[in-house]
């Protein structure tokens, strides 16, 4: 029997899942009793589970399904390429048409001199590439001691040893011996939670200047690069104050350190441009890409590298690569995704219409008594839950309790919204319609109401 086509009932699937399938970022013991939600199908912005329940997917999977689900052309592109050439590698002086075509397309789309692409299978792999690439760059230039990379607390750059070390998630560092040496973290530009009495603009400058202080403390002759997400995603859709990135850019320029923009979430239309670096005026030497590159239809990531860095790296044998670097099927799928984004005007439509519509509707959630702030940039949004908006207070109980309660109510009301601590976040498919945005916001309001009632009933509406 083909178990995928003729699958057993949900409860049996859940039991098999618990017995044999180890999940990422999951407390398996707790999930075992509840049973995982089994997603069966999807179309547009809608997921359907094995019991036939529909959900509006306000997270685009895991920030990746930019063109929406169910695009037949993507399946065709994969099938066509698998028939023609299902696999060949790009090691040892070989290449193939899909990798050439995709690298060429990305070089056209990317700003400035970002003209060279090193492929990987994921964002984590691409950031591991970046660690080795920036260190190799400086070693080639006669500065092997220039190997420190500065990142931010609460950053997310992936889950491998290297990328997990770049990330600033302490609960990840507690497992498995992270971070690797010579990675340093400065504070994040999260005004709502950490800005105190400063204005957002003052706070943005203060946080950016921590980079300069860190460079001076460690010595510019030791620092290879700074890495940051233009907008922190997994950390809670944290939109930096307007003063932050210009100051970071100034400091990187002044001290001659490489700037890596981790665009894994923010690229491919998420902010209304191909890359968020364009939206925020960042001029990176390297951009990390994945997720929206294929709209999640195939696993692919990569690094887009500027002329200056590529020239130095190309002067040696860069002893690095993945079996699936530039995998032909994933490249063909990514190319088809970029074609759809471009020819259907999806990126332009975000800039000219959808982002503004989402911003307007999302802002109404700011009036809810459980909400302290409702913000968006492009097609990413966050709402900060709080017992006291005026004081920007945290809840007295465990951080994330109220967020989890709210998330459960979202699910029960047909909406997938994620919580990061007590922040609720969205990053919907870019093709979401106005009517679907209305539905999203209506369901979010209902979930907030139900969560608010429950939080009050449980005596959790108390400020820390
Ligand atoms: C998801 C993510 C990654 C890691 O990508 P994977 O494909 O999961 O390895 C890296 N950086 C950012 C900003 C991400 O959001």
The string of pLDDT tens digits covering residues 361-372 is 999 999 999 999
d(CA 317, CA 24): 35
Whether the CB-CB separation of 247 and 204 falls below 8 Å is answered with yes
Q: Are residues 195 and 87 in the same domain?
A: yes
Residue 5, pLDDT > 90, answer no
Query: Is the minimum distance from the CB of 64 to ligand 1 under 6 angstroms?
Result: no
Q: Are residues 228 and 368 in the same domain?
A: no
Name the closest-CA residue to atom 10, ligand 1.
157
Q: Are residues 166 and 245 in the same domain?
A: yes
Domain that holds residue 236: 73-343
d(CA 338, CA 70): 16
Residue 271, pLDDT > 60, answer yes
For the chain, helix, strand, coil in percent to 5 are 45, 15, 40
Q: Tell me if the bond preceding 315 is cis, omega within 30° of 0.
A: no
Q: Look up the CATH number of the domain holding residue 350.
A: 3.90.1150.10
Establish if 46 belongs to a structural domain: yes
Establish if 447 belongs to a structural domain: yes
Establish if 11 belongs to a structural domain: no
Give the total number of structural domains in the chain: 2
Establish if 31 belongs to a structural domain: no
Establish if 222 belongs to a structural domain: yes
Q: Are residues 203 and 308 in the same domain?
A: yes
pLDDT at 3: 85
Full 3-state SS string of 97-159: HHHHHHHHHHHHHCCCCEEEEEEECCHHHHHHHHHHHHHHHHHHCCCCCCCEEEEECCCCCCC
Query: Is the minimum distance from the CB of 267 to ligand 1 under 6 angstroms?
Result: no
Cβ-based neighbour number of residue 264 at 10 Å: 29
CA 452 to ligand 1 center in whole angstroms: 32
Position 1 confidence tier, pLDDT thresholds 50, 70, 90: low
Choice from 61, 291, 420 to test ligand 1 binding pocket (greatest atom count within 8 A of CB): 291
Choice from 59, 124, 324, 330 to test ligand 1 binding pocket (greatest atom count within 8 A of CB): 124
pLDDT, greater one: 2 or 19: 19
Q: Are residues 155 and 55 in the same domain?
A: no
Establish if 10 belongs to a structural domain: no
Among 343, 358, 376, where does a domain finish? 343
pTM of the model: 0.98
Q: Look up the CATH number of the domain holding residue 151.
A: 3.40.640.10
Structure tokens at 249: 């850019």
Tell me the average pLDDT across 383-404: 97
Of the listed ranges 4-8, 10-14, 180-184, 234-238, the least confidently predicted one is 4-8
pLDDT at 4: 86
Cβ-based neighbour number of residue 5 at 10 Å: 6
Q: Are residues 118 and 255 in the same domain?
A: yes
Establish if 23 belongs to a structural domain: no
Structure tokens at 386: 């709080």
Residue 23, pLDDT > 60, answer yes
Choice from 123, 235, 288 to test ligand 1 binding pocket (greatest atom count within 8 A of CB): 123
Structure tokens at 320: 């690095």
Q: Are residues 147 and 58 in the same domain?
A: no
Establish if 191 belongs to a structural domain: yes
Q: Are residues 255 and 108 in the same domain?
A: yes
Residue 139, pLDDT > 90, answer yes
Percentage of the chain surpassing pLDDT 90? 98
**Among 180, 115, 90, 73, residue whose Cα is nearest residue 310:** 115
CA 426 to ligand 1 center in whole angstroms: 16
Query: Is the minimum distance from the CB of 233 to ligand 1 under 6 angstroms?
Result: yes
Query: Is the minimum distance from the CB of 262 to ligand 1 under 6 angstroms?
Result: yes
Percentage of the chain surpassing pLDDT 70? 100
Tell me the average pLDDT across 138-153: 98
Q: Each residue of 330-341: pLDDT tens digit?
A: 999 999 999 999
Q: Each residue of 182-214: pLDDT tens digit?
A: 999 999 999 999 999 999 999 999 999 999 999
Among 314, 343, 372, where does a domain finish? 343
CA 123 to ligand 1 center in whole angstroms: 4
Q: Are residues 223 and 88 in the same domain?
A: yes
pLDDT at 2: 81
CA 160 to ligand 1 center in whole angstroms: 10
Query: Is the minimum distance from the CB of 156 to ligand 1 under 6 angstroms?
Result: yes
**Among 156, 199, 449, 461, residue whose Cα is nearest residue 288:** 156
Q: Are residues 253 and 322 in the same domain?
A: yes
Q: Each residue of 57-106: pLDDT tens digit?
A: 999 999 999 999 999 999 999 999 999 999 999 999 999 999 999 999 99
Among 289, 323, 343, where does a domain finish? 343
Query: Is the minimum distance from the CB of 234 to ligand 1 under 6 angstroms?
Result: yes
Tell me the average pLDDT across 430-439: 98
The overall average pLDDT reported for the chain is: 97
**Among 113, 17, 47, residue whose Cα is nearest residue 410:** 47
Q: Are residues 323 and 430 in the same domain?
A: no
Q: Are residues 426 and 293 in the same domain?
A: no
- Output the CA angle 140-142-147, nearest 5 degrees: 80
């Amino acid at each position: 029997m083909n178990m995928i086509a003729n699958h057993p009932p949900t409860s049996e699937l859940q039991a098999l899942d618990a017995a044999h399938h180890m999940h990422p970022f999951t407390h398996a013991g707790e999930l075992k009793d509840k049973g995982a939600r089994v997603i069966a199908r999807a179309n547009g912005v809608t997921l359907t589970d094995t019991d036939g329940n529909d959900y509006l997917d306000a997270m685009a999977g895991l920030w990746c399904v930019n063109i929406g689900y169910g695009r037949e052309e993507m399946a065709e592109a994969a099938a066509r390429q698998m028939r023609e050439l299902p696999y060949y590698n790009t090691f040892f002086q070989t290449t193939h048409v899909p990798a050439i075509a995709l690298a060429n397309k990305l070089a056209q789309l990317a700003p400035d001199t970002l003209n060279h692409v090193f492929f990987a299978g994921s964002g984590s792999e691409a950031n591991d590439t970046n660690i080795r690439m920036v260190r190799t760059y400086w070693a080639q230039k006669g500065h092997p001691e220039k190997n420190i990379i500065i990142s931010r607390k609460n950053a997310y750059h992936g889950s491998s040893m290297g990328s997990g070390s770049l990330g600033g998630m302490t609960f990840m560092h507690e497992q498995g011996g992270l971070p690797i040496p010579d990675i340093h973290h400065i504070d994040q530009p999260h005004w709502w939670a950490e800005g105190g009495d400063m204005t957002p603009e003052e706070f943005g400058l203060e946080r950016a200047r921590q980079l300069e202080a860190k460079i001076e403390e460690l010595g510019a002759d030791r620092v290879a690069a700074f890495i940051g997400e233009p907008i922190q995603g997994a950390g809670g859709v944290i939109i930096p104050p307007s003063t932050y990135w210009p100051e970071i850019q100034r400091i990187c320029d002044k001290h001659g350190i490489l700037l890596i923009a981790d665009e894994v979430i923010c690229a491919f239309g998420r902010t209304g441009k191909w890359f968020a670096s364009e939206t925020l005026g960042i001029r990176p030497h390297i951009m990390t890409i994945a997720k929206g590159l294929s709209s999640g239809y195939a696993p692919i990531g990569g690094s887009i590298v500027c002329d200056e860095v590529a020239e130095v790296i190309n002067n040696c044998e860069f002893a690095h690569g993945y079996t699936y670097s530039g995998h032909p099927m994933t490249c063909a799928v990514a190319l088809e995704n970029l074609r759809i984004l471009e020819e259907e005007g999806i990126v332009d439509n975000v800039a000219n219409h959808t982002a503004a519509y989402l911003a307007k509707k999302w802002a109404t959630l700011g009036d809810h008594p459980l909400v302290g702030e409702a913000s968006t940039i492009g097609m990413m949004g966050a709402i900060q839950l709080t017992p006291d908006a005026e004081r920007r207070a945290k809840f007295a109980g465990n951080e994330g309790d109220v967020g989890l309660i709210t998330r459960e109510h979202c699910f029960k009301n047909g909406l997938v919204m994620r919580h990061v601590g007590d922040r609720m976040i969205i990053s919907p498919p870019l093709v979401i319609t106005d009517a679907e945005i209305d539905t999203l916001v209506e369901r979010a309001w209902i979930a907030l109401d139900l969560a608010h009632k429950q939080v009050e009933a449980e005596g959790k509406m108390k400020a820390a």
